[in-house]
Structure 1
Amino acid sequence: MSDTEMDEARKEHSPTLWRDDGWTARVIKNEDDDGWAVAMTLDGQAEPALVGPWTMGRDKKNPKPLDSAAFITLVKTANEVLRRHEQQLHATLHKSVRIDTDAGRLTVKLDIVPDEDEPYAMLSAHDAAGEVLAEIRVAPTYKLTVQRASEWASGGFGRQG
Protein backbone atom coordinates (compact mmCIF):
# COMPACT_ATOMS: atom_id res chain seq x y z
CA MET A 1 0.00 0.00 0.00
CA SER A 2 1.44 3.42 -0.94
CA ASP A 3 1.68 6.36 1.45
CA THR A 4 -1.20 8.07 -0.33
CA GLU A 5 -3.37 4.97 -0.01
CA MET A 6 -2.47 4.68 3.69
CA ASP A 7 -3.37 8.34 4.25
CA GLU A 8 -6.71 7.77 2.53
CA ALA A 9 -7.35 4.66 4.65
CA ARG A 10 -6.73 6.66 7.86
CA LYS A 11 -9.27 9.33 6.94
CA GLU A 12 -12.55 9.22 8.77
CA HIS A 13 -15.40 11.69 8.55
CA SER A 14 -18.25 11.01 10.96
CA PRO A 15 -20.45 13.36 13.02
CA THR A 16 -18.31 13.02 16.16
CA LEU A 17 -14.93 11.94 14.76
CA TRP A 18 -13.04 13.60 11.93
CA ARG A 19 -9.60 12.27 11.05
CA ASP A 20 -7.68 13.92 8.22
CA ASP A 21 -4.47 15.84 7.41
CA GLY A 22 -2.60 14.41 10.42
CA TRP A 23 -5.22 15.52 12.94
CA THR A 24 -8.13 13.91 14.77
CA ALA A 25 -11.09 15.95 15.97
CA ARG A 26 -13.22 14.06 18.50
CA VAL A 27 -16.42 15.43 20.01
CA ILE A 28 -16.57 14.42 23.67
CA LYS A 29 -18.94 14.92 26.57
CA ASN A 30 -17.88 17.98 28.58
CA GLU A 31 -17.18 16.68 32.08
CA ASP A 32 -17.76 20.11 33.65
CA ASP A 33 -21.36 20.57 32.49
CA ASP A 34 -24.06 19.16 30.24
CA GLY A 35 -22.44 20.41 27.06
CA TRP A 36 -19.95 19.05 24.58
CA ALA A 37 -16.29 19.66 23.82
CA VAL A 38 -14.00 18.92 20.90
CA ALA A 39 -10.48 17.55 21.34
CA MET A 40 -7.89 18.07 18.59
CA THR A 41 -5.05 15.56 18.64
CA LEU A 42 -2.06 15.54 16.31
CA ASP A 43 -1.25 12.10 14.89
CA GLY A 44 1.30 10.32 17.06
CA GLN A 45 0.55 12.39 20.17
CA ALA A 46 -1.07 10.93 23.28
CA GLU A 47 -2.59 14.19 24.53
CA PRO A 48 -4.78 16.64 22.62
CA ALA A 49 -3.19 19.90 21.54
CA LEU A 50 -6.51 21.69 21.98
CA VAL A 51 -9.74 21.03 23.87
CA GLY A 52 -12.54 23.53 23.53
CA PRO A 53 -16.30 23.88 23.80
CA TRP A 54 -18.44 22.41 21.04
CA THR A 55 -21.84 23.59 19.86
CA MET A 56 -25.04 21.78 20.74
CA GLY A 57 -27.17 20.49 17.91
CA ARG A 58 -30.66 21.70 17.06
CA ASP A 59 -32.19 19.29 19.57
CA LYS A 60 -30.21 21.01 22.39
CA LYS A 61 -29.17 17.57 23.61
CA ASN A 62 -26.67 16.11 21.15
CA PRO A 63 -23.57 17.77 19.68
CA LYS A 64 -23.57 19.52 16.35
CA PRO A 65 -21.97 17.19 13.76
CA LEU A 66 -18.41 17.88 12.66
CA ASP A 67 -18.02 19.08 9.08
CA SER A 68 -15.22 20.09 6.75
CA ALA A 69 -15.36 23.83 7.49
CA ALA A 70 -15.33 23.29 11.25
CA PHE A 71 -12.49 20.78 10.96
CA ILE A 72 -10.36 23.21 8.91
CA THR A 73 -10.91 25.93 11.52
CA LEU A 74 -10.06 23.53 14.34
CA VAL A 75 -6.84 22.44 12.59
CA LYS A 76 -5.78 26.08 12.14
CA THR A 77 -6.50 26.83 15.80
CA ALA A 78 -4.70 23.71 17.06
CA ASN A 79 -1.67 24.48 14.87
CA GLU A 80 -1.58 28.00 16.31
CA VAL A 81 -1.70 26.61 19.86
CA LEU A 82 1.25 24.32 19.07
CA ARG A 83 3.19 27.17 17.45
CA ARG A 84 2.68 29.40 20.49
CA HIS A 85 3.72 26.58 22.81
CA GLU A 86 6.91 26.07 20.78
CA GLN A 87 7.64 29.82 20.89
CA GLN A 88 7.13 29.91 24.65
CA LEU A 89 9.38 26.88 25.14
CA HIS A 90 12.07 28.43 22.94
CA ALA A 91 11.89 31.70 24.89
CA THR A 92 12.22 29.78 28.15
CA LEU A 93 15.22 27.77 26.98
CA HIS A 94 17.09 30.50 25.05
CA LYS A 95 17.75 33.93 26.53
CA SER A 96 20.14 36.68 25.53
CA VAL A 97 21.21 40.13 26.64
CA ARG A 98 23.39 42.77 24.96
CA ILE A 99 26.11 44.52 26.91
CA ASP A 100 28.63 47.24 26.12
CA THR A 101 32.27 46.50 26.98
CA ASP A 102 35.64 48.08 26.25
CA ALA A 103 35.88 45.60 23.35
CA GLY A 104 32.53 46.72 21.93
CA ARG A 105 28.97 45.51 22.05
CA LEU A 106 28.58 41.84 23.00
CA THR A 107 25.65 39.45 23.06
CA VAL A 108 25.60 37.03 25.97
CA LYS A 109 23.39 33.99 25.45
CA LEU A 110 22.05 31.36 27.83
CA ASP A 111 20.91 28.13 26.19
CA ILE A 112 19.28 25.60 28.52
CA VAL A 113 19.48 21.92 27.60
CA PRO A 114 16.51 20.24 29.32
CA ASP A 115 18.03 16.76 29.55
CA GLU A 116 15.85 14.49 31.73
CA ASP A 117 18.83 13.04 33.61
CA GLU A 118 21.27 15.96 33.78
CA PRO A 119 19.89 19.31 32.58
CA TYR A 120 22.46 22.04 32.07
CA ALA A 121 22.92 25.36 30.33
CA MET A 122 25.60 26.93 28.16
CA LEU A 123 26.54 30.55 28.73
CA SER A 124 28.26 32.14 25.75
CA ALA A 125 29.54 35.55 24.70
CA HIS A 126 29.47 36.67 21.05
CA ASP A 127 31.01 39.70 19.39
CA ALA A 128 29.17 41.94 16.91
CA ALA A 129 30.09 39.59 14.05
CA GLY A 130 28.60 36.62 15.90
CA GLU A 131 31.94 35.01 16.73
CA VAL A 132 32.00 33.07 20.00
CA LEU A 133 34.40 34.74 22.44
CA ALA A 134 33.75 32.48 25.42
CA GLU A 135 31.52 29.62 26.43
CA ILE A 136 31.04 27.84 29.76
CA ARG A 137 28.65 25.30 31.19
CA VAL A 138 26.41 26.60 33.99
CA ALA A 139 23.48 25.32 36.03
CA PRO A 140 20.13 25.27 34.20
CA THR A 141 18.80 27.56 36.94
CA TYR A 142 21.34 30.28 36.07
CA LYS A 143 19.60 33.67 35.84
CA LEU A 144 20.98 35.74 32.97
CA THR A 145 20.88 39.48 33.62
CA VAL A 146 22.73 42.42 32.09
CA GLN A 147 24.61 42.89 35.36
CA ARG A 148 25.73 39.25 35.57
CA ALA A 149 26.74 39.25 31.88
CA SER A 150 28.73 42.47 32.37
CA GLU A 151 30.48 41.06 35.45
CA TRP A 152 31.33 37.86 33.53
CA ALA A 153 32.79 39.86 30.64
CA SER A 154 34.70 42.31 32.84
CA GLY A 155 36.14 39.35 34.76
CA GLY A 156 37.64 37.96 31.57
CA PHE A 157 34.90 35.35 31.09
CA GLY A 158 36.02 33.36 34.11
CA ARG A 159 34.33 30.24 35.41
CA GLN A 160 32.01 32.04 37.84
CA GLY A 161 29.71 33.33 35.05
Structure 2
Amino acid sequence: MTQVLVLLLAALIGVVAGSRAMTAPAVVAWGALLGWIDVGDKWSEWIAHPITVTVLTIFMLAELVTDQLPKTPSRKVPAQFIARVITGAFAGAVIGSAFFHTFSATGAGVIGAVLGTLGGAELRKRLAAANNGNDRPGAFTEDAIAVGGGFLVAFLVSLI
Protein backbone atom coordinates (compact mmCIF):
# COMPACT_ATOMS: atom_id res chain seq x y z
CA MET A 1 0.00 0.00 0.00
CA THR A 2 2.83 2.40 0.84
CA GLN A 3 4.40 1.98 -2.59
CA VAL A 4 1.10 2.80 -4.30
CA LEU A 5 0.75 6.00 -2.28
CA VAL A 6 4.37 6.96 -2.99
CA LEU A 7 3.83 6.45 -6.72
CA LEU A 8 0.60 8.44 -6.64
CA LEU A 9 2.29 11.36 -4.88
CA ALA A 10 5.29 11.13 -7.24
CA ALA A 11 2.90 11.29 -10.20
CA LEU A 12 1.10 14.26 -8.66
CA ILE A 13 4.36 16.16 -8.13
CA GLY A 14 5.06 15.37 -11.78
CA VAL A 15 1.76 17.01 -12.70
CA VAL A 16 2.96 20.08 -10.79
CA ALA A 17 6.18 20.04 -12.82
CA GLY A 18 4.12 19.84 -16.00
CA SER A 19 2.37 23.00 -14.92
CA ARG A 20 5.37 24.89 -13.54
CA ALA A 21 8.72 23.19 -14.09
CA MET A 22 10.63 24.75 -11.20
CA THR A 23 7.80 24.57 -8.69
CA ALA A 24 8.07 20.80 -8.25
CA PRO A 25 11.76 20.77 -7.23
CA ALA A 26 11.26 23.83 -5.04
CA VAL A 27 8.35 22.38 -3.10
CA VAL A 28 10.04 19.02 -2.54
CA ALA A 29 13.08 20.93 -1.28
CA TRP A 30 10.84 22.84 1.12
CA GLY A 31 9.14 19.57 2.09
CA ALA A 32 12.52 18.03 2.86
CA LEU A 33 13.67 21.11 4.81
CA LEU A 34 10.46 21.09 6.86
CA GLY A 35 10.79 17.37 7.57
CA TRP A 36 7.76 16.35 5.53
CA ILE A 37 9.93 14.30 3.16
CA ASP A 38 12.51 12.19 4.99
CA VAL A 39 15.72 12.49 2.98
CA GLY A 40 18.09 11.92 5.89
CA ASP A 41 20.96 9.56 5.05
CA LYS A 42 19.72 9.16 1.46
CA TRP A 43 21.11 10.30 -1.90
CA SER A 44 18.58 13.14 -1.86
CA GLU A 45 19.70 14.57 1.50
CA TRP A 46 21.29 17.61 -0.17
CA ILE A 47 17.87 18.84 -1.35
CA ALA A 48 17.02 19.89 2.22
CA HIS A 49 20.07 22.15 2.54
CA PRO A 50 19.04 25.80 3.02
CA ILE A 51 21.15 26.93 0.06
CA THR A 52 19.47 24.41 -2.23
CA VAL A 53 16.04 25.44 -0.98
CA THR A 54 16.88 29.12 -1.51
CA VAL A 55 18.18 28.63 -5.05
CA LEU A 56 15.22 26.48 -6.08
CA THR A 57 12.79 28.98 -4.53
CA ILE A 58 14.40 31.79 -6.54
CA PHE A 59 14.09 29.69 -9.71
CA MET A 60 10.44 28.98 -8.90
CA LEU A 61 9.63 32.66 -8.32
CA ALA A 62 11.47 33.66 -11.51
CA GLU A 63 9.43 31.12 -13.47
CA LEU A 64 6.18 32.43 -12.00
CA VAL A 65 7.12 35.90 -13.25
CA THR A 66 8.45 34.88 -16.67
CA ASP A 67 5.40 32.74 -17.34
CA GLN A 68 3.36 35.96 -17.45
CA LEU A 69 5.47 37.43 -20.26
CA PRO A 70 4.04 37.37 -23.79
CA LYS A 71 7.31 36.07 -25.32
CA THR A 72 7.44 32.98 -23.11
CA PRO A 73 7.31 29.90 -25.36
CA SER A 74 4.66 27.23 -25.11
CA ARG A 75 5.23 24.49 -22.57
CA LYS A 76 4.81 22.03 -25.43
CA VAL A 77 7.90 23.11 -27.40
CA PRO A 78 10.65 20.50 -27.03
CA ALA A 79 12.93 22.41 -24.64
CA GLN A 80 10.08 23.35 -22.30
CA PHE A 81 8.51 19.90 -22.46
CA ILE A 82 11.82 18.16 -21.73
CA ALA A 83 12.55 20.49 -18.81
CA ARG A 84 9.18 19.63 -17.27
CA VAL A 85 9.76 15.90 -17.69
CA ILE A 86 13.22 16.18 -16.11
CA THR A 87 12.04 18.22 -13.13
CA GLY A 88 9.01 15.95 -12.70
CA ALA A 89 11.27 12.90 -12.73
CA PHE A 90 13.63 14.51 -10.23
CA ALA A 91 10.89 15.65 -7.85
CA GLY A 92 9.26 12.22 -8.06
CA ALA A 93 12.62 10.60 -7.32
CA VAL A 94 13.08 12.74 -4.21
CA ILE A 95 9.67 11.70 -2.92
CA GLY A 96 10.45 8.08 -3.74
CA SER A 97 13.82 8.27 -2.00
CA ALA A 98 12.08 8.79 1.33
CA PHE A 99 10.68 5.27 0.99
CA PHE A 100 13.48 3.62 -1.01
CA HIS A 101 11.37 3.66 -4.18
CA THR A 102 13.49 6.11 -6.17
CA PHE A 103 13.38 4.31 -9.52
CA SER A 104 9.65 3.65 -9.71
CA ALA A 105 8.83 7.11 -8.33
CA THR A 106 11.04 8.65 -11.02
CA GLY A 107 8.91 6.95 -13.66
CA ALA A 108 5.72 8.09 -11.95
CA GLY A 109 7.08 11.65 -11.91
CA VAL A 110 7.74 11.46 -15.66
CA ILE A 111 4.21 10.21 -16.37
CA GLY A 112 2.75 12.95 -14.18
CA ALA A 113 4.87 15.60 -15.90
CA VAL A 114 3.66 14.54 -19.35
CA LEU A 115 0.05 14.58 -18.17
CA GLY A 116 0.52 17.90 -16.38
CA THR A 117 2.17 19.51 -19.39
CA LEU A 118 -0.54 18.48 -21.83
CA GLY A 119 -3.43 18.91 -19.38
CA GLY A 120 -2.15 22.26 -18.13
CA ALA A 121 -1.81 23.58 -21.67
CA GLU A 122 -5.38 22.54 -22.44
CA LEU A 123 -6.70 24.05 -19.22
CA ARG A 124 -4.89 27.32 -19.88
CA LYS A 125 -6.22 27.42 -23.44
CA ARG A 126 -9.79 26.90 -22.24
CA LEU A 127 -9.48 29.50 -19.50
CA ALA A 128 -8.14 32.03 -22.01
CA ALA A 129 -11.03 31.28 -24.37
CA ALA A 130 -13.52 31.76 -21.52
CA ASN A 131 -11.91 35.15 -20.77
CA ASN A 132 -12.11 36.52 -24.35
CA GLY A 133 -8.50 35.58 -25.08
CA ASN A 134 -7.13 37.08 -21.85
CA ASP A 135 -4.55 34.56 -20.64
CA ARG A 136 -3.63 36.28 -17.39
CA PRO A 137 -6.47 34.91 -15.17
CA GLY A 138 -5.66 31.38 -16.33
CA ALA A 139 -1.97 31.91 -15.67
CA PHE A 140 -2.58 33.12 -12.12
CA THR A 141 -5.01 30.28 -11.49
CA GLU A 142 -2.47 27.77 -12.73
CA ASP A 143 0.24 29.38 -10.56
CA ALA A 144 -1.94 29.02 -7.47
CA ILE A 145 -2.84 25.42 -8.27
CA ALA A 146 0.79 24.47 -8.95
CA VAL A 147 2.26 26.07 -5.84
CA GLY A 148 -0.60 25.13 -3.50
CA GLY A 149 -0.91 21.65 -4.96
CA GLY A 150 2.84 21.12 -4.81
CA PHE A 151 3.01 22.02 -1.14
CA LEU A 152 0.00 19.81 -0.45
CA VAL A 153 1.72 16.86 -2.14
CA ALA A 154 4.92 17.48 -0.17
CA PHE A 155 2.94 17.62 3.08
CA LEU A 156 0.99 14.46 2.23
CA VAL A 157 4.28 12.56 1.97
CA SER A 158 4.67 13.09 5.73
CA LEU A 159 1.39 11.24 6.35
CA ILE A 160 2.51 8.00 4.72
Larger strand share, 1 or 2: 1
Larger helix share, 1 or 2: 2
Q: Which has the higher contact order (CA 8 A, sep 6+)?
A: 2
Q: Structure 1-normalised TM-score?
A: 0.25
Q: Structure 2-normalised TM-score?
A: 0.26
